[in-house]
């Protein structure tokens, strides 16, 4: 089963995340099927915190991918 979830990058106390389509069984920072955007929670400018490829996200949701709780909340905000 494919899930849309976040991979953590960055350094201590300054995380950045990439939104990825991944197999449910793979580890958090494991191999991704496709990278769909990024999320920078530490960025002061709220317009630049989230950037997602909405067409590809809609494609993955259309073929049955399930978003994680965090990703679902981010998609609602955007």
In the prediction, which pLDDT does 78 show?
82
Strand-strand pairing, 14-23 and 34-39: antiparallel
The pTM of this model reads 0.87
Instruction: Give the residue ranges of the chain where pLDDT is below 70.
Output: none
Q: Based on the structure, what is the number of domains in the chain?
A: 1
In the prediction, which pLDDT does 47 show?
84
The per-residue b/e assignment along 30-47, b for 16 or more CB within 10 angstroms, e otherwise, is eebeeebbbbbeeeeeee
Domain range holding 54?
A: 2-77
In the prediction, which pLDDT does 46 show?
84
CATH code for position 27: 3.30.1320.10
């Amino acid at each position: 089963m494919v899930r849309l979830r976040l991979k953590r990058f960055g350094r201590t106390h300054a995380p950045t995340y990439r939104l990825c389509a991944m197999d449910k069984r793979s580890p958090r920072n494991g191999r991704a099927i496709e990278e769909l955007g990024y999320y920078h929670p530490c960025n002061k400018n709220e317009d630049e915190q989230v950037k997602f490829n909405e067409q590809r996200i809609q494609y993955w949701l259309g073929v049955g991918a399930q978003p994680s709780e965090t990703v679902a909340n981010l998609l609602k905000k955007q």
